[in-house]
Structure 1
Amino acid sequence: MNHSLYNPFKTFDFRNDKCFLSGSSTSPLAVRVLPDWLLNMAKLTGEEQIKFLDESIRTYKSLVVPASAEIYTETILPLEQKLETAFEQGYKGASALPEIDLFHWIGKLMYSFLYIEMQGAIRLKQLSGDGMNMSQGLMHKFSNLHLMLQGIFRAVEFEEFRPWSIVVVPLENTETAFSFRDEINTLIFSLKFKDFGIVACLQDNGTNKRYHHELLESINDKPLTDQQFEELAARFFYSAYLFNRLPEYNVIEANDVAYIDPMPLRGIQNKPLFDEWQHKTYAQVLENFWKPYGFTLFEIIKDPKAPMSFFEQPLLPDAG
């Protein structure tokens, strides 16, 4: 198997005749983004729909990416089987998963969506073949994620750090229907299913988890209501937006291993890692997450200094 690092963002090659992870052009398979085991476990038909940035609407089961048959059989399939076994056990299984497995699985899911978005943008000429219509920051962020995801099929070592913030929490409702959210620009993802919820920031070097540490410590494995989980997710989605650094990494290859070492996030900048928290903007994010429960923005921000919260101790960040 060829272990050289592959970067599709150098040539902006997102065709279906190359493996989306390795770049191998050896008869790639069309692999479903949302695996059959997940659709079956969630009792979904696959006809459920998702809307992409190019305004196209696709069914879950129609979403596929090209993957090398060898990589799929030897590495992707075992990863999927590990997640399936864990999700079958609910919170007990999901919380026991090594974070690297969750990072690989969630990252693969998000990168698959990104791959399809790239195909659509290039097809509609919204993105040139050299990626010149995309900001250099986004290109850099996506490229780093793809680099790290190559750890699914080859040796990639993180040098005494984790590039992610991942939180797995128990839910009160043990029969929560499967649903997920993602925001590609900030590379954040949330999922709830059965009796557990997951929030993951994929390119923040753990900063969002540290930012919300007081709230996370207060939760301390207490099962959350549906509203509490959505509130937790909303806080992470908003802080991921406020995170104002673009993580940089040094990559060294030796003996078929890619070693990734983070550059200091502070760099030469004196300003904090996060822009100022604004309760009004956060309330707008929260309104979207609480849409199923009918809370209006007026109700949420009735007290401008203390937005509505379902946590006994809101422990909100200080507002600017």
Structure 2
Amino acid sequence: MSQSLFNPFKDLIFDEHFCFLSGDLTNENITVFPEWLMNHFKFGDERIEMMDKSKAYTYADLKLPCSAEVKKAFEELDVKVQAAFKKGFEGMEELDQELLFQWTGRMVYGLLYYEMVYERDRLLKKGEEFKLSQTLRKRFGYFHLMLQSLIEPISFKGKKPWSIAVFPLKYSSDIFSYRDDAINLMFSFGVNGFGFVACLQDNGVIGEKQKELLDKIEGHVLHPVQFEELYARFHYSDYILQYKPEYNIESQDSGITIEVKTADKLPVFGLWDEDIFAQLLSNYWQVYGIEKEDILQFQKPPLSFLENPYTKDFIDPESIKLPF
């Protein structure tokens, strides 16, 4: 990893006077979730809980310290994403995936930042030292470096370090749906018109694992229950992922190049356990009243709204009678 750029995970620096991205001293800040998005869907006053459920914030209160340069860069990125957002699926699909990675990365990193600060302060009150495993330091440090591509001459060579899938989606016009797993660097986003799922540091292997399904989806407008199932498949695939993403990083006068290292050992994924997956999926489908027992029934294949369990044909979204 480049030694010249700020890496907060090296010395666990999460301070309100240091820009979260560049490390520059600052008194300015930026919201974790873009203001235009919170205003459009009116969720700024809604509450979000930390992972252990013992502390909550409003979305609008989640802010990251940032320099004027970083704030300007994200504002310019927001203009591009908002313009694409207004065009719906076509606009978002045409958006460069690196921009979508940076835009999504701001929110995922922001939530991760708050988890780090919360855990540090919790341990400090107990007189204990805040520690992070070397594995997580390395993983989060790579993610932070990639996010700095917004403000630094950082380029990605060959295979991208992420899996991002964008597709048409049908929701009621006033609904904004998102899920995140900041520790595992995952995010899903859905509104009327389009949705996307993102694994921000899987080196593209989860997208490859789900490619056959993604090919079937192409040309269809997903029902929300299908969107939830797709994210559940990405999320569980990340859970059983068995290798640590590694990179070749070269620093030159012209900038930094990041290249994905190919995994040497196979299989990359562990065993897919239908019982565990059904539990995860039932959490996503609870709004439809679908329980784990409905997904796994004796002598029947697992319930799916994406593929016919017998023929593996894609299920036409228009045939699904559940509300959207």
With normalisation by structure 2, the TM-score equals: 0.89
The equivalent residue for 2:13 is: 13
Shift of 1:20: 0.2
| Conserved 8 A contact 2:160-2:260 | no
Shift of 1:130: 7.5
| Conserved 8 A contact 2:14-2:117 | yes
**Residue 160 of structure 2: SS of its match in structure 1?**
coil
The structure-2 alpha-carbon separation of the partners of 1:111 and 1:104, relative to structure 1 and needing over 3 Å to count, comes to: same
Corresponding letter in the other structure for 1:13: I
**Residue 166 of structure 1: SS of its match in structure 2?**
strand
Larger deviation, residues 296-305 vs 104-113: 296-305
| Conserved 8 A contact 2:29-2:71 | no
Shift of 1:278: 0.9
Pairing of 1:146-157 with structure 2 (within 5 A): 146-157=144-155
- Alignment deviations for residues 249-281 of structure 1 (CA, whole Å, 9 cap, x no partner): 122211141111222222xx3x40001111111
- Alignment deviations for residues 263-303 of structure 1 (CA, whole Å, 9 cap, x no partner): 2222xx3x400011111111111101101000111110014
**Residue 158 of structure 1: SS of its match in structure 2?**
strand
The equivalent residue for 1:87 is: 85
The equivalent residue for 1:37 is: 36
**Residue 112 of structure 1: SS of its match in structure 2?**
helix
- Cα distance in 1, alignment partners of residues 120 and 200 from structure 2: 25
Shift of 1:131: 5.1
| Conserved 8 A contact 2:10-2:137 | no
The structure-2 alpha-carbon separation of the partners of 1:176 and 1:45, relative to structure 1 and needing over 3 Å to count, comes to: closer
- Cα distance in 2, alignment partners of residues 85 and 101 from structure 1: 13
The equivalent residue for 1:249 is: 247
| Conserved 8 A contact 2:171-2:191 | no
- Cα distance in 1, alignment partners of residues 174 and 229 from structure 2: 16
Shift of 1:207: 0.4
Shift of 1:244: 1.1
Pairing of 1:35-184 with structure 2 (within 5 A): 35-42=34-41, 44-54=42-52, 55-73=54-72, 75-125=73-123, 132=131, 134-173=132-171, 175=173, 177-184=175-182
Corresponding letter in the other structure for 1:283: A
Shift of 1:53: 2.5
Shift of 1:183: 1.0
- Cα distance in 1, alignment partners of residues 138 and 61 from structure 2: 29
Corresponding letter in the other structure for 2:259: D
Shift of 1:45: 4.6
**Residue 18 of structure 1: SS of its match in structure 2?**
coil
Which of 291, 302, 306 aligns to 1:311? It is: 306
Corresponding letter in the other structure for 2:221: P
| Conserved 8 A contact 1:167-1:199 | yes
With normalisation by structure 1, the TM-score equals: 0.90
Shift of 1:29: 1.1
The equivalent residue for 2:317 is: none
Pairing of 1:271-282 with structure 2 (within 5 A): 271-282=266-277
For structure 2, list consecutive stretches of 5 or more residues without a partner in the other structure: 314-324
The structure-2 alpha-carbon separation of the partners of 1:306 and 1:128, relative to structure 1 and needing over 3 Å to count, comes to: farther
1:297 aligns with 2:254: no
Which of 285, 288, 291 aligns to 2:283? It is: 288
| Conserved 8 A contact 1:168-1:197 | yes
The structure-2 alpha-carbon separation of the partners of 1:173 and 1:184, relative to structure 1 and needing over 3 Å to count, comes to: closer
* Count of aligned residue pairs for this structure pair: 307
Corresponding letter in the other structure for 1:24: D
Corresponding letter in the other structure for 2:210: H
- Cα distance in 1, alignment partners of residues 189 and 271 from structure 2: 27
RMSD, aligned CA: 2.1
**Residue 125 of structure 1: SS of its match in structure 2?**
helix
Corresponding letter in the other structure for 2:201: Q
Corresponding letter in the other structure for 1:21: L
- Cα distance in 2, alignment partners of residues 235 and 181 from structure 1: 13
| Conserved 8 A contact 1:174-1:195 | no
- Cα distance in 2, alignment partners of residues 78 and 63 from structure 1: 20
| Conserved 8 A contact 2:170-2:191 | no
The equivalent residue for 2:236 is: 238
Shift of 1:128: 9.4
The equivalent residue for 2:316 is: none
| Conserved 8 A contact 1:28-1:69 | no
